Structure formats: C-alpha cells, structure tokens
A = this chain, B = another copy of it.
Amino acid sequence: MIQKEMVRVINTGGTFNKRYDPVEGNLFVPPDDTAVVEALASMRHGEEIVVGGAIYKDSLDMDDADRDLLCKIVADTMEDRIVIVHGTDTMDKSAAAIDRWLGKKSGKSVVLTGAMVPFSIDAVEATANLASAVTAVRYVAPGVFIAMHGMVLPYGRIVKNRRLGVFEAISE
C-alpha cells in the first residue's frame, strides 16, 4: 500500500529555513532542521516520514562540491521516495544534477521544494509547498520533479519567475 512506503526528507537549507538573528539584525540559514521538522510535525503524520539535513546553505552559495554531495546523499538514500528542501534560486540546477547522477534506471522519485518566504515569517506558503511535495512524491513516477506554488512538474517544465517571485509552468 502506497502509504506504507517511507518518505525521506532531505533539508539543504534555503529560504524555507531562514531565521532572524536579533543580534546581527539579519536573516540566516541555520545549520538545523527546525523549520522543516516543525512544519512536518503540524501534519501529525506517523513514522512514514523521516528527516535529515546537510549543506544548509542559501542556494546561491551552493557550489559544485555541494551539488555533488547532494547527489551522493540522494543516491545513497535507502528510501526511493525523496523530498528535498532547497533554496529556490538554483533548485533547477540541483534537480538537473541529481537527474544526471541517478541516470535512467534509479527507480527513485525525487521532489524538490522550497519557499519564497521563510517559514519563520510566513508559515503558510512554506507549509503548502512542503505538504504538496510530501504528498506528490508518493504518486510520481521515478524521476526528478519540482513542487512549488500548487504545481508538481518534471524539473525542466517549471521555472522561477524572478521578477514576480513565483514558479510558473513552462508551456511546451
């Protein structure tokens, strides 16, 4: 039964996780999974979702070594249904890298998601994206997808509109 398959959530940082540091007076990506864990806890799901984290960077600061590490983590993950919380700016780049790394025969369904506004500022957008990703990952075929702003699409068919701050489907 589909609900019994485990889902692994890999948190890499990005806007979703940003918190305010009152001493420094700015937002930062914390090296922890607080926001992701809090959002998931609110779903009151059972033991079928597990969370882990790595990298913890603004996605503009991710370099090739970070992306290689992420690909390796995904490939080594025991679960076949994987959600990645990621910064929105290079989400597509990481998606492409993971797709290349996994190749055609991996059997893994990977859904990347994130947020335009930190969970600590607007919990609703971040939660909606994460819930959408965690739900979709149980249905999509093997491959790499992006779940943002109510859409779940193969990563090459959805793009961030940087001027408007929303993700949009690419018309074929």
Is there contact, CB below 8 Å, between B15 and A128? Answer: no
Is there contact, CB below 8 Å, between A152 and B124? Answer: no
User: In the complex, which residue of chain B has the Cβ closest to the Cβ of A169?
Assistant: B3
The number of residues on chain A lying at the interface, defined by a beta carbon within 8 Å of a beta carbon of chain B, is: 56
Which residues of A are at the interface with B, using a C-beta cutoff of 8 A? 1, 3, 15, 20, 22-23, 25-27, 38-40, 42-46, 48-49, 89, 116-118, 120-125, 127-132, 134-136, 138-140, 147, 149-153, 162-169, 172
Residues from chain B with Cβ under 8 Å of A167 in the complex? 44
Closest 7 CB pairs of A and B: A45-B150, A42-B124, A139-B139, A131-B131, A22-B116, A128-B131, A44-B149
A110 to B85, CA, bound (A): 29
Counting every copy of the chain, the complex holds 4
Is there contact, CB below 8 Å, between B121 and A121? Answer: yes
Is there contact, CB below 8 Å, between A150 and B23? Answer: no
Residues from chain B with Cβ under 8 Å of A138 in the complex? 152
Is there contact, CB below 8 Å, between A149 and B43? Answer: yes
A128 to B38, CA, bound (A): 12
Residues from chain B with Cβ under 8 Å of A152 in the complex? 3, 135, 138
Residues from chain B with Cβ under 8 Å of A125 in the complex? 42-44
Residues from chain B with Cβ under 8 Å of A25 in the complex? 15, 89
A23 to B165, CA, bound (A): 5
